[in-house]
Structure 1
Amino acid sequence: MLDPRGVRFTAAITSLVLVVVLVTGWGYLALAQAAVFAVTAASPSHGPYALLYRALVRRWLGPPAAAEPAAPVRFAQLVGLAFILVAAVGYLSGWAALGLGFTAAALAAAFLNAAFGLCLGCEVYLAARRVATGSSG
């Protein structure tokens, strides 16, 4: 189970990194963010931004009112990884439009999570589970 405030903090830092990638076109920064997505997908509570949250922010906030499951967050991180890897390929191969488009899409998703707590990847994960199990709610 994860602290939802930490998930939003992670999304905020990701948003900042993706803004820099979008503005500069730095393909290697996109690859660095891909590494962050990969580590966080493997273990959301041990990703670099989650560790930063726990070290710098959480102690001032106290325990969360509720926790959320890690599986949807893992899936969302994998989606982010796929998008930013395509973006990195675009930037590093000279296809700037590809890099811009995929970075912008990843940024939109990260920003929605950071600003509003709406995790698009998590929602896709939950919808896919409902379809797979045949339940409507």
Structure 2
Amino acid sequence: MSESKKTPAGIDPRGPRFGAAITSALLLTTVFLALDGATLDTAFVLLLVATGLFAIGAIFGNSKHPFGLIFKKFVRPRLAAPKELEDPRPPKFAQLVGLLVAGLGVALHLAGVPNAIAIFAGMSFVAAFLNAAFAFCLGCQIYVGLQRIGLIRKF
């Protein structure tokens, strides 16, 4: 197996943080709207959008994610080169975690569970905010933990 197959090309770690900042704003708005019955339908649509964005990130990775593309085209050219690149697999896994959490909120709302949108958008918001504000990627930490116990193979 060639070296490029074993270790994917690194990504600028500021890209996922940029996306997490936008995602945080989207999810906080979703939570806020979900708390009022008059705007619950709008909150549901926003959670669907967030779920779709998580799906793109989980399937294609940060480099093909809309926020990653915005970062690459408009933000990164204005910044100095990153000090080091990051393995793209943990952020991609984090997108999968976001997809599962947001998707569960969508499914439970459709099943009639009260406050499902607010609860699951809130949980997703906390994870996105931790990444955006403190560079602490909760999904990435889960990925590393799963590697440590052998559920995800190390390269």
**Do they fold alike, i.e. is TM over 0.5?**
yes
Conservation of the 8 A alpha-carbon contact between 2:47 and 2:117:
no
Amino acid at match of 1:3: D
Q: Residue 5 of structure 1 is aligned with which of 5, 8, 14?
A: 14
Q: Residue 129 of structure 2 is aligned with which of 86, 101, 111?
A: 111
Using the TM superposition, give the Cα deviation of residue 74 of structure 1 relative to its aligned residue in structure 2, in angstroms. Answer: 1.1
Unmatched runs of 5 consecutive residues or more in structure 1: none
- Structure 2 equivalent of residue 79 of structure 1: 97
- Structure 1 equivalent of residue 40 of structure 2: none
Is 2:65 the partner of 1:32? no
Conservation of the 8 A alpha-carbon contact between 2:19 and 2:67:
yes
Provide, for residues 104-128 of structure 1, a one-character-per-residue CA deviation record: whole Å limited to 9, x for no partner.
1110000000000000110011011
Distance 1:103 1:54 in 2: 27
Secondary structure, in 3 states, of the residue corresponding to 2:82? coil
Conservation of the 8 A alpha-carbon contact between 2:102 and 2:120:
yes
Amino acid at match of 1:68: E
Using the TM superposition, give the Cα deviation of residue 94 of structure 1 relative to its aligned residue in structure 2, in angstroms. Answer: 4.4
Unmatched runs of 5 consecutive residues or more in structure 2: 1-9, 35-42
- Structure 1 equivalent of residue 74 of structure 2: 56
Secondary structure, in 3 states, of the residue corresponding to 1:132? coil
Secondary structure, in 3 states, of the residue corresponding to 1:34? helix
Using the TM superposition, give the Cα deviation of residue 54 of structure 1 relative to its aligned residue in structure 2, in angstroms. Answer: 1.4
Secondary structure, in 3 states, of the residue corresponding to 2:149? helix
Q: Residue 14 of structure 1 is aligned with which of 8, 23, 27?
A: 23
Secondary structure, in 3 states, of the residue corresponding to 2:11? coil
Identical residues among aligned pairs (%): 38
Using the TM superposition, give the Cα deviation of residue 70 of structure 1 relative to its aligned residue in structure 2, in angstroms. Answer: 0.9
Provide, for residues 24-48 of structure 1, a one-character-per-residue CA deviation record: whole Å limited to 9, x for no partner.
1211111111111111112221100
Is 2:150 the partner of 1:132? yes
Provide, for residues 51-103 of structure 1, a one-character-per-residue CA deviation record: whole Å limited to 9, x for no partner.
11112211100321111101111111000001111222344554342221111
